[in-house]
Structure 1
Amino acid sequence: MTSLAPAFSGDIADCPSPDLSFLLDHTSHVLRTRMAAALAEVGMTARMHCVLVKALEEERTQIQIAEIGDMDKTTMVVTVDALEQAGLAERRPSATDRRARIIAVTDAGAEMAKRSQAVVDRVHAEALGSLPEELRPVLLEALTLLARGHLAEPVESPAGARRARQV
């Protein structure tokens, strides 16, 4: 795997028009790699963390959690299988729809979710902490506005667009 770092000179002021796609792609990729490495230290993946946290919030089916976590069916099954094997979660029939299976988090899974959330919070704090304090809320507000507004939904493209590789 090649690094994206050499493509970025580091001085946005030198660019007449900064490459927003590159900046978002690169920082997102690096954040995902840092997150993956940090979660691996507690025996988790980002997907496992997502499933545990979303299953703890409320009764949700595998399909609902897969949609929230942007996982395909196969990835979700493999992730839940790993959580079950580790004793962190189990599939149970839904209380409201017997055809549906929910993900129930075990006591050990709830403890792991707390540990992994602390890891996620730390990685996020480290990333934001690398910015001057006055810029942190500005960045978060700008990204939130983009994610809820102009860049909320992908558009169809005849050539298609490759999704960023998920960790």
Structure 2
Amino acid sequence: MTALTPRRTEPDLSFLLDHTGHVLRTRMASALAEIGLTARMHCVLVHALEEERTQIQLAEIGDMDKTTMVVTVDALEKAGLAERKPSSRDRRARIIAVTEEGARIAARSQEIVDRVHHDALEALPDGTREALLHALNQLATGDLATPSANPRPVRRARQGQG
């Protein structure tokens, strides 16, 4: 560090969140790959099982652009895990319906996601786990709930479990 280096007055929260998020995403990708899924595929399956949802709604939940969503649903259809069907509520809309096999795989993928999260949190002492989760939930629903307007879009990494 030279004399010209600015003195840090706060911990580098951006680095800490980015790094741990990146490592968690790589672990998740590796674990889900064992059953032939990506995190996006898991996200679509789980949220499509919750209720009747269109491709656009699922893309919003999973923070996916239109092209990524189409590719994801195409892969799910090719694997026999989901299919596009007319909505029962709006005949103009198409929903993503999960097949029986897709529901079985979604249950397995949720077990994997839960295990990866559990294993990551196991690295912390008991009291620290709860404090971390509480603090992150407060940030995610409070001060860091909404991104700032930015004339130059910031590339956003794939979020959480979907």
Same fold, judged at TM 0.5 (above): yes
Q: Matched residues in 1 for 2:18 and 2:119: separation?
A: 19
Partner of 2:18: 25
Question: Following superposition, which runs of at least 4 residues in structure 1 exceed 3 angstroms of deviation?
Answer: none
- How many residue pairs were aligned? 153
Name stretches of at least 5 consecutive residues in structure 2 with no aligned partner.
1-7
After superposition, what is the alpha-carbon deviation per residue over 1:102-144, rounded to whole angstroms, capped at 9, x for unaligned?
Answer: 0100000000001100000000000000111111111111111
**Structure 2 CA distance for partners of 1:60 and 1:46, relative to 1, 3 Å:** same
**Structure 2 CA distance for partners of 1:85 and 1:125, relative to 1, 3 Å:** same
| 1:51 lines up with 2:44 in the alignment | yes
Name stretches of at least 5 consecutive residues in structure 1 with no aligned partner.
1-14
**Alpha-carbon RMSD:** 1.5
Q: TM-score, normalised by structure 1?
A: 0.87
After superposition, what is the alpha-carbon deviation per residue over 1:20-51, rounded to whole angstroms, capped at 9, x for unaligned?
Answer: 00000000011000000000011100000000
Residue among 114, 117, 122 paired with 2:110:
117
Q: Is the 8 A contact 2:45 2:82 kept in 1?
A: yes
After superposition, what is the alpha-carbon deviation per residue over 1:52-103, rounded to whole angstroms, capped at 9, x for unaligned?
Answer: 0000000000000000000001100100000000000000000011111101
Q: Is the 8 A contact 2:63 2:159 kept in 1?
A: no
Aligned residue runs from structure 1 range 99-114, under 5 A: 99-114=92-107
Q: Percent identity?
A: 73
Q: Matched residues in 1 for 2:153 and 2:57: separation?
A: 25
Residue among 130, 134, 138 paired with 1:141:
134
Partner of 1:91: 84
Partner of 1:9: none
Q: Matched residues in 1 for 2:95 and 2:83: separation?
A: 8
| 1:78 lines up with 2:77 in the alignment | no
**Structure 2 CA distance for partners of 1:73 and 1:21, relative to 1, 3 Å:** same
Structure 1 residue 17 displacement after superposition? 2.3
